[in-house]
């Protein structure tokens, strides 16, 4: 017999991809329609899934390595459809202010952190939220000046849509803040005398951020490594990076060339900048199944917490304020139409009902002028939508990229912001799902914790980590477990054009999976948060193993 070239390749490949790993005695939720639950699966050393369930028997001629999972649970690797990978990495290197309960708390965290800083360095942190403090008002530079009279301090709000500077940091900004001027798409918060208080919202943040020395190549490298380690430890096997600069893309490419990626990265270009220009010139970039780019992220408006989300009517708790569009609707339309003309997917951050409407209008226009674009355009966050616009999202074939933990972080004050009517179209996961809108779930890390199990729990309970409120916040919008798991796996894969390769455990797909200590599809809700990620596997390779996991393969 003469071996044809493809057949020869197949034979050689088969041999070099042995042994085949067979996971046995497991509770495997495949997220595949045909056989959603099986007790075994097999993948080869090259990282391809060969069989699930009874089909594993057909592999007996191969060299097998049997792994008894002792009844543990396996799900497809989690994919976060909206995260900020470098942000997660730098968060690991900066003081983390998430969960601090007062300004005094923050100062003491900063003081402790300062001991490791060189004398002239900026002190940069992230994660404060005035809604967690007794007084619930924006802080001021004076709150920091006594503890830090000389060292510039810049603290990003938890949502990344406002920053808090001390006087030393304001002094280094190359802007004269005097007068009453305000930037387009942002706000310099001023006191009664018109002096800047130190809080800068949305586009105003750049005045201080521009003065911060950029991190060194070594620091950036370290941040990426920390982010990858963190992601693997929580069960993430993929992320959609929501705003990748050309420089960051080059860093990801280098990491991939070195074989150092442990997470599949789908990059969204960071707005109308060099990365978008590169994608428009070269078309899609695909580095096998590890790193790819064919989309761009734009912004419609700000965030609800800092009242920067653009609303159609006044904020319920701030009459006269309707928030901010980052740019005029015509400008957003031009951006969207331009990117759609390059054949790209467009992903737009929209929080308020006006922000979401402007996005729907922009997509309608782009669809008319570029009917050949492959679509799957996304709205990122989709937080507050006018009831009359919910159906438009379905009709226009858009993907809703939503973050369940945003709802459980915002539920304490969201209704104060928008009132009892508009809240009905807010965080409306189940309503969108029923309308047939594809959901892609994520966390928006480092805005929220990256743990997908926390997102899964929030999706099905609409409760916070302490279990509040009983019965869930507007529980009618909760997802069932199947849909929640789908959103963090195959739904996210679809939103990144990767549903044929990852997102479910099926023969022919890549072996991205997570071994869990308990069956999250069955256990009582409150036990989900106690469930441990025992192992994270990407492309058949163990990239994280918990001490309790024991020997794997």
Q: Least CB distance from residue 462 to Zn ion, whole Å?
A: 21
Q: Least CB distance from residue 451 to Zn ion, whole Å?
A: 16
State which of residues 132, 444, 464, 512 lies at the interface with Zn ion (CB under 5 A): 444
Before 527, cis peptide (omega within 30)? no
Task: Please spell the DSSP secondary structure of 243-261, one letter per residue.
Answer: EE-HHHHHHHHHHHHTT--
Could you give the CA distance from residue 196 to residue 122 in angstroms, rounded to a whole number? 20
Q: Least CB distance from residue 84 to Zn ion, whole Å?
A: 6
CB 428 within 8 A of CB 356: no
Alpha helices by DSSP H, 178-317? 206-209, 217-233, 246-257, 274-282
DSSP letter at 53 equals: G
Q: How big is the site for Zn ion, counted in residues (CB under 5 A)?
A: 2
**Residue 345 or residue 504: which is nearer to Zn ion going by CB?**
345
Cβ count near 512 (within 10 Å): 32
Which positions from 169 through 188 interact with Zn ion, judged by CB under 5 A? none
**Residue 242 or residue 269: which is nearer to Zn ion going by CB?**
242
**Residue 186 or residue 540: which is nearer to Zn ion going by CB?**
186
**Residue 232 or residue 350: which is nearer to Zn ion going by CB?**
350
**Residue 32 or residue 440: which is nearer to Zn ion going by CB?**
440
Stretch that binds Zn ion, among 240-248, 254-262, 300-308, 515-523 (CB under 5 A): 240-248
Beta bridge partners of 381: 350
> What values do phi and psi take at 447, rounded to 5?
-60, -45
Stretch that binds Zn ion, among 181-189, 205-213, 443-451, 505-513 (CB under 5 A): 443-451
> What values do phi and psi take at 402, rounded to 5?
-125, 155
Length, in residues, of the chain: 553
Could you give the CA distance from residue 264 to residue 368 in angstroms, rounded to a whole number? 33
Q: Least CB distance from residue 239 to Zn ion, whole Å?
A: 11
Q: Which helix (H) or strand (E) holds 197?
A: strand 196-202
**Residue 242 or residue 386: which is nearer to Zn ion going by CB?**
242
Torsion of CA 124, 126, 130, 133, to 10 degrees: -90
Stretch that binds Zn ion, among 106-114, 234-242, 291-299, 532-540 (CB under 5 A): 234-242
- For β-strands 196-202 and 186-190, DSSP reports them as antiparallel
Q: Least CB distance from residue 340 to Zn ion, whole Å?
A: 21
Q: Least CB distance from residue 87 to Zn ion, whole Å?
A: 8
Stretch that binds Zn ion, among 134-142, 239-247, 338-346, 485-493 (CB under 5 A): 239-247
**Residue 202 or residue 444: which is nearer to Zn ion going by CB?**
444
Beta bridge partners of 269: 244, 296
**Residue 242 or residue 263: which is nearer to Zn ion going by CB?**
242
Which positions from 332 through 351 interact with Zn ion, judged by CB under 5 A? none
Beta bridge partners of 291: 265, 287
Q: Least CB distance from residue 126 to Zn ion, whole Å?
A: 13
Q: Least CB distance from residue 266 to Zn ion, whole Å?
A: 14
Q: Which helix (H) or strand (E) holds 360?
A: helix 353-369
**Residue 86 or residue 515: which is nearer to Zn ion going by CB?**
86
**Residue 427 or residue 544: which is nearer to Zn ion going by CB?**
427
Could you give the CA distance from residue 356 to residue 410 in angstroms, rounded to a whole number? 18
Q: Least CB distance from residue 252 to Zn ion, whole Å?
A: 17
Q: Least CB distance from residue 96 to Zn ion, whole Å?
A: 17
Which positions from 107 through 136 interact with Zn ion, judged by CB under 5 A? none
State which of residues 22, 75, 81, 242 lies at the interface with Zn ion (CB under 5 A): 242
Sequence-separated (6 or more) residues with CB below 8 Å from residue 156? 124, 125, 126, 127, 128, 162, 163, 164, 205
Which positions from 356 through 375 interact with Zn ion, judged by CB under 5 A? none
Q: By the criterion CB under 5 A, which residues form the site for Zn ion?
A: 242, 444
């Amino acid at each position: 017999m003469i071996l044809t070239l493809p057949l020869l390749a197949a034979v050689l490949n088969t041999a070099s991809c042995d042994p085949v790993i067979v996971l046995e005695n497991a509770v495997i939720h495949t997220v595949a329609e045909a056989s959603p639950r099986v007790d075994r699966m097999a993948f080869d050393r090259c990282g391809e899934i060969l069989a699930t369930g009874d089909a594993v028997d057909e592999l007996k001629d191969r060299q097998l390595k049997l792994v008894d999972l002792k009844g543990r649970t396996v799900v497809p690797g989690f994919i976060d459809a909206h995260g900020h990978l470098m942000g997660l990495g730098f968060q690991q290197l900066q003081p983390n202010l998430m969960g601090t309960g007062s300004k005094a708390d923050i100062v003491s965290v900063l003081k402790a952190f300062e001991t490791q800083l060189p004398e002239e360095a900026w002190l940069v942190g992230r994660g404060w939220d005035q809604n967690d403090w007794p007084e619930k008002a924006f802080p001021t530079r004076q709150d920091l000046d006594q503890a830090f009279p000389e060292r510039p301090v810049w603290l990003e709000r938890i949502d990344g849509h406002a920053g808090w500077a001390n006087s030393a940091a304001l002094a280094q900004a190359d802007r004269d803040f005097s007068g009453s001027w305000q930037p387009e798409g942002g706000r310099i918060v001023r006191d009664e005398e018109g002096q800047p208080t130190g809080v800068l919202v949305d586009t105003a943040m750049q005045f201080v951020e521009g003065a911060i020395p950029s991190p060194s190549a070594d620091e950036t490298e370290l941040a990426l490594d920390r982010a990858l380690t963190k992601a693997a430890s929580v069960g993430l096997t993929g992320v959609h990076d929501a705003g990748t600069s050309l420089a960051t893309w080059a860093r990801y490419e280098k990491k991939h060339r070195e074989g150092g990626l442990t997470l599949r990265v789908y990059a969204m270009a960071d707005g109308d900048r060099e990365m978008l220009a590169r994608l428009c010139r070269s078309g899609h970039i695909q580095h096998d199944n590890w790193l790819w780019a064919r989309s761009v992220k734009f912004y419609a408006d700000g965030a609800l917490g800092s009242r920067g989300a653009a609303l159609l009517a006044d904020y319920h708790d701030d009459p006269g304020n309707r928030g901010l569009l980052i740019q005029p609707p015509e400008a957003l339309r031009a951006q969207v139409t331009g990117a759609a003309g390059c054949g790209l997917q467009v992903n737009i951050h929209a929080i308020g009902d006006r922000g979401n409407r402007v996005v729907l209008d922009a997509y309608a226009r782009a669809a008319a002028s570029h009917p050949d674009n492959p679509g799957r355009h996304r709205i990122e966050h989709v937080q507050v939508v006018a009831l009359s616009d919910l159906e438009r999202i379905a009709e226009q074939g858009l993907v809703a990229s939503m973050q369940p933990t945003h709802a459980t972080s915002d539920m304490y004050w969201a209704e104060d912001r928008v009132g009892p009517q508009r809240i009905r179209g807010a965080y409306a996961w189940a309503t969108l799902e029923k309308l047939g809108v594809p959901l892609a779930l994520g966390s928006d890390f480092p805005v929220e914790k990256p743990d997908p199990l926390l997102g899964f729990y929030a999706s099905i309970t609409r409760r916070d980590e302490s279990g509040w409120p009983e019965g869930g916040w507007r529980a009618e919008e909760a997802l069932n477990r199947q849909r929640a798991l789908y959103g963090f796996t195959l739904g996210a894969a679809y939103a990144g054009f990767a549903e044929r390769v990852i997102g479910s455990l099926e023969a022919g797909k890549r072996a991205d999976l997570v071994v869990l200590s308990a069956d999250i599809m069955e256990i009582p809700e409150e036990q989900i948060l106690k469930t441990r990620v025992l192992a994270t596997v990407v492309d058949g390779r163990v990239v994280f193993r918990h001490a309790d996991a024991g020997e794997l393969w």
